[in-house]
Structure 1
Amino acid sequence: PLRDGAEGVTVPRVAVAVRAGDEAIGSIWAAVREPLSPERCLALRDAAKIVALHMLRLRAGADVERRLRADLVSTALEGRAGAREALSRLGLVGRPVVVLALAPRDDAGGRRSPGADADATTEREHLADAFAMHLGAVHPHCAASLLGDTAYGLVPAQQDGDAGEERAVRIATDFLDRVGSRTDAVIGVGPAGQDAGGLAHARSGADRALRALRAGGTGRRVARLADVQVEALLCELRDLVAARGDELTGPIAKLAAYDERRGAHLIETLRAWLDAFGDVGTAASAVHVHPNTFRYRLGRLTEIGGIDLDSPEVRFAAMLQLRVLPQAPSA
């Protein structure tokens, strides 16, 4: 029994589940004055079957529309034959368009069960649907679709260049603020594309910005490629290094080998010194040792590694190896 808000009295209610096979897809509630007769119970169950058919038909229609929209967005983003026609059907032809790429942060290091993978897929679909709804409220010609693991949004820009990108950043930030902490997602914003060919370049920029955000280290949830270009380049360098199987060389390799044998923390010391721009006090605090201890380790690493820390080129090479090569121990 539930309280009726209009009359302020308690009215008994009955409910029946609406099912499609073993899946519960809804329910029907009815206010009653007395227990249902067998005939009325049968009528309510029959009504649930009819409602189930109607809901499945609506779901099938929505799935078809989603797939069609995904095909149009995919064709437009790839710049292949038919891209202009796809943009026309989306209502985006003849105007600059900014591409947004949305995905959860990178969790490739963790192993998930098949059930968890299925849950993650469902979560991405729900996130993409919410993203599409948010963009639709911003502009009637916005388009969004889930392609693989990434949800892409196409936002018509009122102006080309930075103004269009900054507006897209505000739209993306507003969406993530509304989603809140329910999902740890990030959005990369690409440059505005002027036509079907430019849209493929815009997608590439959004993908690169998204990857830099997913790799972490920026502290951002939304970024343009210009905001994270260095991080994006480092991601691409890591890909190149992994593909070629490059390993540590030179002074860094010597220091890593010495640390492995002696546990001397020389790589940690060098990393902290470089990150602190040579400020011994700051670097020592970062690794929780006394400045005199840090100075001693700094002297040992220059001796063992034969590294000239007064050379800008040597410092740059060391910083690059420590950030790019996977074998470099972390602090």
Structure 2
Amino acid sequence: MSNRTGLARVLDDLGTTLIDLVRGDPARAGGIGGVVIDDPHDDQVLPPRALVLGVGVREPADVRARLDELGVLGAAGLVVRGPVVLTDEVAAAADRSGVALLGLAPGASWTQLAALLRSLLAEGEVTDSETLGGTPAGDLFALANAVASLISAPVTIEDRSSRVLAFSGRQEQADASRVQTILGRQVPARYSQLLEARGVFRRLYRSDQPVYIADLPDDDGGVCLPRVAVAVRAGDEVLGSIWAAVRAPLPADRELAFCDAAKLVALHLMRQRAGADVERRLRADLVSTAVEGGAGAAEAVRRLGLTDQECVVLVLALADSHVDDPAEHARLLAERQQVADAFAMHLTAVHPRAAAALVGDVAYAILPTESEDRALRIATDFRTRIGDRVVVGVGPVADGLTLARSKAGADLALRVLRAGRSQRAVARVSDVHSEGLLLELADLIAERGDTLTGPVARLIDYDLRHNGNLVETLSAWLDAFGDVAAASAAVFVHPNTFRYRLRRLAEVGELDLTDPDARFAAMLQLRLWRPV
């Protein structure tokens, strides 16, 4: 990785608004290999040169101990909640371990910091040749700084929902409301509502010229610095906007530069969107090829970084995934992608080399682990977090070159769950083994075109012609292992009536209830054909 993905880059772009360097040399760390939310109670796998977010690591003794541990693991830096108490022991641990110690501003969100850092690292993957206007394509932070220099004012780049995509330096020259926006990565709701009420967004999105906004009240009873904003467009589509904190309307030359900057930001956003779409499709192809097996699987596994790793394939689907209404179908497609993206993020937090992608109407994931039980817990935890919208099948453990076997198990488990043959929502194939065998046998029967014959067929025909209940009686008796009392109670009839029906079904179906083979055949047919 280039220096643009190192700690120096992070500190340059996020500055003192969000994080600051407490101890260590940012240049020494080199490129950052990934962002990990620290959990000292879990056996985590850190990528090389990881930047670790020490959520809950606060006391100097804990910080010192964690620095020593992360030094052994080769981490690049540790971020803890500020203000950080830098004792002599903590300073010595940072120097000894080579792990940079950083402080997160009070009030800032860990979730937003993680998203910001991962965004910066993703932008750093762009090569120097991929530039727009001299700025690396997709590097919105560098572009925000360039715009700020052009108009001599701190700026933010925001999407249509007023979420902050990037911001420039010199934010300390703005006001308290801008600091709140940066820390929360979102314009505070009270300001968004005020701007909406004043018609600012309507004017902003209807014009290609900057809009000047003054007299916005602050929390102290005064007024905020004026703002000037311009919409970011790609054709007729509004992608977002750029906001600058100013002290007076922009001069004509800077206003023109501000408008030109909006066009450049649009190119960056479209490039970023296209890159994300291409990366998503590429990852989906790699995951699909890896789990299907055959030609190309080994190369796909290598490109995913899973060679010589034991893995488990998981397959996820929406519990309710069939709709007829076209509008609902469009919503369903968007929901599938949203859930698949959330699944990928959840698994990546568990293991940096986990891979997941939407393939058709299901999401396949490859999780490096040597334990089916661990994969089951992780999938169950995801479903608990996201709600009862999904079902997940978990395959057996396989190495990188035999993932097709794990996929087959996961597919079968998912099929059982989607068919309603199990009360579970997350299952390994071993959890639904008998139900899976019945489904596979039903497939064989359907493929051969077999029809129902024998005693059960005769009983079904009799019930249809006489509005009888002999099939129900046989099913209840078999389920109760021949216990007449329990079986009669299950169908709410007197035991003597039930015994009469048993004799009658034996006569009509020509079924010997004392023959274990006949009982097994009847039970299997009832399970496969499931007569109503």
The bucket for the TM-score relative to the shorter chain is 0.7 to 0.9
Separation (CA, whole Å) in 1 of partners of 2:427 and 2:233: 43
Pair 239,98 (structure 1): closer, same or farther in 2 beyond 3 Å: same
Separation (CA, whole Å) in 1 of partners of 2:227 and 2:494: 73
> 1:214-253 CA distances to partner (integer Å, 9 max, x unpaired)?
1112111111111111111111111122222222211111
Pair 280,28 (structure 1): closer, same or farther in 2 beyond 3 Å: farther
Q: What residue ranges of structure 1 are gaps of 5+ in the alignment?
A: none
Deviation at 1:178, TM superposition (A): 0.7
| 8 A Cα contact 2:288 2:364, kept in partner | no
Separation (CA, whole Å) in 1 of partners of 2:477 and 2:424: 25
Deviation at 1:300, TM superposition (A): 1.7
Pair 273,17 (structure 1): closer, same or farther in 2 beyond 3 Å: farther
Deviation at 1:111, TM superposition (A): 5.5
1:168 to 2:367 alignment = no
Separation (CA, whole Å) in 1 of partners of 2:500 and 2:315: 48
Separation (CA, whole Å) in 1 of partners of 2:255 and 2:470: 78
1:227 to 2:431 alignment = yes
Pair 258,30 (structure 1): closer, same or farther in 2 beyond 3 Å: farther
**Equivalent residue for 2:347?**
135
Select the structure of larger CA radius of gyration.
Answer: 2
Pair 54,290 (structure 1): closer, same or farther in 2 beyond 3 Å: farther
Superposed, which structure 2 residues align to 1:131-280 within 5 Å? 131-157=343-369, 159=370, 164-181=371-388, 183=389, 185-196=390-401, 198-280=402-484
Pair 254,53 (structure 1): closer, same or farther in 2 beyond 3 Å: same
Q: Which has the higher contact order (CA 8 A, sep 6+)?
A: 1
2:394 partner SS: strand
Deviation at 1:136, TM superposition (A): 0.5
> 1:144-191 CA distances to partner (integer Å, 9 max, x unpaired)?
11111221111112x3xxxx111111111111111113x1x1111111
1:228 partner SS: helix
1:104 to 2:318 alignment = yes
**Equivalent residue for 1:305?**
509
| 8 A Cα contact 1:190 1:225, kept in partner | yes
* Counterpart residue identity of residue 247, structure 1: T
| 8 A Cα contact 2:313 2:366, kept in partner | yes
Separation (CA, whole Å) in 2 of partners of 1:289 and 1:15: 77
Pair 70,4 (structure 1): closer, same or farther in 2 beyond 3 Å: farther
Pair 309,61 (structure 1): closer, same or farther in 2 beyond 3 Å: same
| 8 A Cα contact 1:191 1:205, kept in partner | yes
**Equivalent residue for 2:330?**
118
**Equivalent residue for 1:72?**
286
Separation (CA, whole Å) in 1 of partners of 2:483 and 2:517: 19
Separation (CA, whole Å) in 1 of partners of 2:332 and 2:484: 45
**Equivalent residue for 2:35?**
none
More helix by share: 1
| 8 A Cα contact 1:106 1:215, kept in partner | no
Pair 282,104 (structure 1): closer, same or farther in 2 beyond 3 Å: farther
Deviation at 1:122, TM superposition (A): 1.6
Pair 280,54 (structure 1): closer, same or farther in 2 beyond 3 Å: farther
2:387 partner SS: helix
Separation (CA, whole Å) in 2 of partners of 1:8 and 1:268: 76
Q: CA RMSD in A?
A: 3.3
* Counterpart residue identity of residue 211, structure 1: R
Give the structure-1-normalised TM-score: 0.83
Separation (CA, whole Å) in 1 of partners of 2:257 and 2:490: 73
Separation (CA, whole Å) in 2 of partners of 1:13 and 1:192: 57
| 8 A Cα contact 2:323 2:329, kept in partner | no
| 8 A Cα contact 1:97 1:199, kept in partner | yes
| 8 A Cα contact 2:480 2:486, kept in partner | yes
1:93 to 2:307 alignment = yes
- Paired positions, count: 318
Deviation at 1:26, TM superposition (A): 4.8
Separation (CA, whole Å) in 2 of partners of 1:300 and 1:19: 78
**Equivalent residue for 2:271?**
57
* Counterpart residue identity of residue 332, structure 2: A
Separation (CA, whole Å) in 2 of partners of 1:54 and 1:239: 51
* Counterpart residue identity of residue 403, structure 2: L
Separation (CA, whole Å) in 1 of partners of 2:223 and 2:487: 70
**Equivalent residue for 1:7?**
220
Separation (CA, whole Å) in 1 of partners of 2:256 and 2:484: 82
Q: What residue ranges of structure 2 are gaps of 5+ in the alignment?
A: 1-193, 196-215
Worse-superposed segment, 83-92 or 246-255: 83-92
| 8 A Cα contact 2:287 2:355, kept in partner | yes
> 1:4-43 CA distances to partner (integer Å, 9 max, x unpaired)?
77536687999987665666655667889999xxxx9999
Deviation at 1:61, TM superposition (A): 0.9
1:329 partner SS: coil
Pair 54,312 (structure 1): closer, same or farther in 2 beyond 3 Å: same
2:290 partner SS: helix
Separation (CA, whole Å) in 2 of partners of 1:269 and 1:22: 67
Separation (CA, whole Å) in 2 of partners of 1:279 and 1:14: 82
| 8 A Cα contact 2:396 2:406, kept in partner | yes
1:233 partner SS: helix
